[in-house]
Structure 1
Amino acid sequence: MGRSSYREKILSAGISIAHERGFATSGVRDFVQAAAVPQGSFINNFGSKEAFGIAVLDRYFEGLDDIIGQTLRDEARGPIERLRSYFDTISASCEQAGWRLGCLIGNMSLEAPNHSDAIRERLVRIFADWKQPFAEAVRAAQACADLSADLDPDDVAEFLLAGWHGAMLRMKVDRSGEPLERFKRVVFATVLARPAFASTSTGKP
């Protein structure tokens, strides 16, 4: 079996193991056993657990980027609906997992930064990239008067990501989707609510 095939098997198994058991508490032996490949193939393909962690984050974010493309960047929808679609899509995925797993990036953000500067730095870059499509949707909503122009799009994007990850942490504790639904109810009734003037203004001075 070729080197690239081993790499893909380890990476796929590693994402599942890290998501279900935690990255920090899992070892190289766990990853290769789950992938059913020789232990030496781990070092040959990744060099270290730290480098593997970065590869896991990158691959997981690639999957999230597909969801982002189908929701936050779907210009067939209105901008607020794009945001709602993203949160609903992630909620459905969490429900399929029994409300147990949450977001691997969020999970590793809690585990890894105290142990690896390289992983912490990659997480910083991932969150910076992740913020952009949220900020784009907010700007689009402001452009069509669906959101207040007083809000800074980058601030709103950071707030949405932080609040959503907090809701997912509570979701894992409660084993319930209610924290996610509560987040959506509050956010769409406040931060992402259509300004009152937008529905009442006639456009006349």
Structure 2
Amino acid sequence: MPRPSHRGKILAEGLKVVHERGFAGASVRDIVQAAGVPQGSFTNHFASKEAFGLEVLELYFANTRDILRDTLRNDALPPLKRLGDYIDWSISRLCVNQTRNGCLLGNFALEASDHSDAIRHRVVEIFAELQQSFEYCLASAAKAGELPADFDCNDVAGFIVASLQGSILLAKAQRSPQPVVRFKHLLFSKILR
């Protein structure tokens, strides 16, 4: 009889540990303790902590993709409402832990990019996918007449990704969602006109 796999449990609980403590701050021992599995289970399922980190990124972004589908890429809703809904979701996710954890993507970009090219490349790809979703939403807004027809959707989408990540980083440091709230206000009152 084969032994049960602890892979999913290690990933789910490991994601929480890494998001709370950071990639470098989360030891393999911390991860397996949180999952309630023997330490050998980690090496049975992951060739390295870097390989585990890449899978944690995928798990985290899979959840984000669901939100992208329901907000930025949801053609049943007015485009600028979708954009506002995505930012509101970002604020509510931040507030779950009093903004202490920030965004795992931004955390990995800051912390792991210097130590792992594989993680750095994957984070860049994920940010590009986020930018494409913002661009899709903005292009829909231009097509619907919510924005000027010649609106620079690509540049503004890049600005949104960078500014949202920056405001989330500040929110984490300040232990307040206010920087993201301010970003949303300025985005809608000054840029998306």
**TM band (smaller chain):** over 0.9
Q: CA RMSD in A?
A: 1.2
Q: Name which of structure 1's ranges 44-53 and 146-155 shifts more when overlaid on structure 2.
A: 146-155
User: Paired residue for 1:87?
Assistant: 87
Deviations 1:108-148 (A, max 9, x none): 11001100011111111111212211110010111122113
User: Paired residue for 2:124?
Assistant: 124
Q: Name which of structure 1's ranges 144-153 and 78-87 shifts more when overlaid on structure 2.
A: 144-153
The residue identity in structure 2 corresponding to 1:43 is: T
User: Paired residue for 1:68?
Assistant: 68
Alpha-carbon separation, structure 2, partners of 1:178 and 1:53: 30
Q: Tell me the secondary structure at the aligned position of residue 190 of structure 1.
A: helix
Q: Name which of structure 1's ranges 64-73 and 91-100 shifts more when overlaid on structure 2.
A: 91-100
Matching of residues 12-51 of structure 1 within 5 Å: 12-51=12-51
The residue identity in structure 2 corresponding to 1:178 is: Q
1:96 is displaced (CA, Å) by 2.3
Counterpart check, 1:52 vs 2:52: yes
Q: Tell me the secondary structure at the aligned position of residue 191 of structure 2.
A: coil
Aligned length: 191
Give 4+ residue runs of structure 1 displaced > 4 Å after superposition: none
Deviations 1:12-64 (A, max 9, x none): 11110111110122211111111111111111101100000000000000000
Alpha-carbon separation, structure 2, partners of 1:154 and 1:14: 35
1:152 is displaced (CA, Å) by 2.5
1:94 is displaced (CA, Å) by 1.4
Alpha-carbon separation, structure 1, partners of 2:102 and 2:36: 26
User: Paired residue for 1:200?
Assistant: none
Alpha-carbon separation, structure 2, partners of 1:26 and 1:97: 17
Which 5+ residue runs of structure 2 have no aligned equivalent?
A: none
Percent identity between the two aligned chains: 47
TM-score (norm 1): 0.89
The residue identity in structure 2 corresponding to 1:20 is: E
TM-score (norm 2): 0.95
Which 5+ residue runs of structure 1 have no aligned equivalent?
A: 194-205
Larger radius of gyration between Structure 1 and Structure 2: 1
